[in-house]
Amino acid sequence: MNYILDDSAERIDFEAVWSFLSTTAPWHRWRSRDQVRQQVESAWRVVGVYEEASGAQVGFARAVSDGVCDAYLADVYVLEEHRGHGLGKALVNRMVDGGPGAHFRWTLFTAGAHGLYEHNGFSVPNQTAMVRPGRFPAPAPAPSARPHQDEPVV
């Protein structure tokens, strides 16, 4: 079986992404369909893996970035029935080294597949890394995320 990697956002099959993330991915079952759509549509970059013969999307990754020096890798998957062909390695490689972010510092959070990410240059951070865990479910968004000019910032 042959596969194609493509970073065209227009080609991403949102239904395929939603199906995997909402039923199979343990890391994001709490997100709503609208939240996932917003994340996919606002991603700095997306890469899909497609079965050449059928065109069906069988893998996905998205990145969030400032577009200058830092990027965050998220929602990486290859459907189970297509694993074992090196698609995960190729997908991560295309995302981090095969595009405009090749020189960036990349981060991700993952409970598994460490070898896959290490193969692409990821390593456990040193003592300089800190994380503020998310709070879920998220509250309704405020009318403005920025303080008003007359509000003191302490």
| Domains of the chain, residue spans | 3-119
**φ and ψ at residue 41, rounded to 5 degrees:** -70, -30
What the block records as the tokens of 14 is 């949102």
pLDDT tens for the chain, residues 1 to 154: 899 999 999 999 999 999 999 999 888 778 899 999 999 999 999 999 999 999 999 999 999 999 999 999 999 999 999 999 999 999 999 999 999 999 999 999 988 889 899 999 999 888 888 888 777 666 666 665 555 566 666 5
CATH of domain 3-119: 3.40.630.30
pLDDT (0 to 100) of residue 138: 65
Q: What is the C-alpha separation between 103 and 121, in angstroms, rounded?
A: 12
**Six-digit token string for 108:** 């991700």
Q: What pLDDT is stored for residue 146 in this prediction?
A: 58
CA distance 26 to 20: 10
| Cα–Cα distance measured from residue 5 to residue 88, given in angstroms and rounded to the nearest whole number | 11
Residue 97 to residues 53, 89, 153, Cα–Cα distance (Å): 26, 11, 40
What local confidence, expressed as pLDDT, does residue 112 receive?
A: 84
* Predicted local confidence at residue 147, as pLDDT: 58
**pLDDT at site 136:** 67
Nearest 5°: CA angle at 150, between 147 and 154? 60
Strand partners, 60: 48, 77
pLDDT at 132 (0 to 100): 82
